[in-house]
Amino acid sequence: MEHKPDHIELSVIIPTYNEEGNIALLIQRLEQTMSSMGCTAYEYIFIDDGSTDQSLENIKQARSENKQVQYLQFSKNFGHQYALKAGLDHARGAAVVSLDADLQHPPELIAEMYALWKNGAELVYTRRQDQQSIGFFKRKSAKLFYWLANRLAEVPIEEGTADFRLMDRKVVNAIKAFKEADLFLRGLIPTLGFKQVGIDYIPAKRHSGQTKYSFSKMFQFAINGITSSSAKPLYLSIYLGLFFACLAFLYGCYAVYLALFTSEAITGWTSLIASVLFIGGIQMILIGIAGIYLGKLFVQSKQRPTYIIKANSIHD
């Protein structure tokens, strides 16, 4: 296919946070994939999410040898989802692929995505298959998250979907129109519609470095994922309230019975304390849930930019 010199067919966006040991190999494997696909008009956009190692230097080094390597440098660490958003905002391709920098998402799969896109798919998402290369704890916690999210979310999130996907320009533009301060692409993208095709893949082991998702980051990610796409947790208080009102009514009947027909009315201190503490705990949780949503409204109302770019190699 002939193309204008400034026409880009495929953009690959890569959130990068302290991935110095992965960049050279990733680019090498991407290059092999591009040439196997016969794609010549492409760009790789590394979004350096405030790395403190040599990641950016390595990217710049690669760029000095290959002008298709581009980068955006964040002013600090904003997080994976915002790096993805920045990539989508700056990508120029007719299709955009997002993948992790650590080679867990095999770059070779892009060839399959690209072929599906050429055949009319507008969104190609991936499903993680064999989970052996992922730690036990991560596997179990991911399972629990998808179970919970799918109970609470308005639109189910398919288990094992990661941020490894191809999006047509139409899809990218649709995502760019969402002005959400907190972004959970995995929950948002399935709701968009379009012609979606899923493919399976086996994730590889992380090539170099360590996971950037600590337990607390994963916990935040899960809370954010659920509360950014669903208001259902807010209704929890109604159900719990009803449940406890019923219990209280039954217990009230029992207390009246004790007072009227027995002489044991003063006992029951233990059950009183236990129920006060328990109900107090439930109330804390519910106030916390309301607080999360209130906090989200507060952040959204400020309309702050969701990321800040310090340096940018893309001139347009």
Shortest CB 129 distance to ligand UDP, Å: 15
Nearer to ligand UDP, 114 or 164 (CB): 164
Among 54, 61, 77, 230, binds ligand UDP (CB under 6 A): 77
Among 19, 43, 48, 102, binds Mg ion (CB under 5 A): 102
Among 18, 81, 104, 228, binds Mg ion (CB under 5 A): 104
Entry field: residues in the chain: 316
- CB of 12 within 8 A of CB of 110? yes
- Distance of alpha carbon 98 from alpha carbon 86, whole angstroms: 11
Among 52, 191, 211, 300, binds ligand UDP (CB under 6 A): 211
Check binding of 49 to ligand UDP (CB under 6 A). yes
| Both tokens assigned to 113 | 């995505």
Among 12, 23, 44, 80, binds ligand UDP (CB under 6 A): 80
- Distance of alpha carbon 97 from alpha carbon 86, whole angstroms: 13
Check binding of 19 to ligand UDP (CB under 6 A). yes
- Distance of alpha carbon 171 from alpha carbon 98, whole angstroms: 13
Shortest CB 208 distance to ligand UDP, Å: 11
| Both tokens assigned to 63 | 């760029």
- CB of 299 within 8 A of CB of 182? yes
- Distance of alpha carbon 134 from alpha carbon 106, whole angstroms: 14
Check binding of 168 to ligand UDP (CB under 6 A). no
- CB of 80 within 8 A of CB of 17? yes
* Count of residues that bind ligand UDP according to CB under 6 A: 16
Nearer to ligand UDP, 9 or 43 (CB): 43
Check binding of 87 to ligand UDP (CB under 6 A). no
Instruction: Render the burial of 281-292: b for 16+ CB within 10 Å, e for the rest.
Output: ebeeebeebeee
Instruction: Please give the residue ranges that form the binding site for Mg ion (CB under 5 A).
Output: 100, 102, 104
Residues in contact with ligand UDP by CB under 6 A are: 15-17, 19, 49, 77, 79-80, 83, 100-102, 104, 211-213
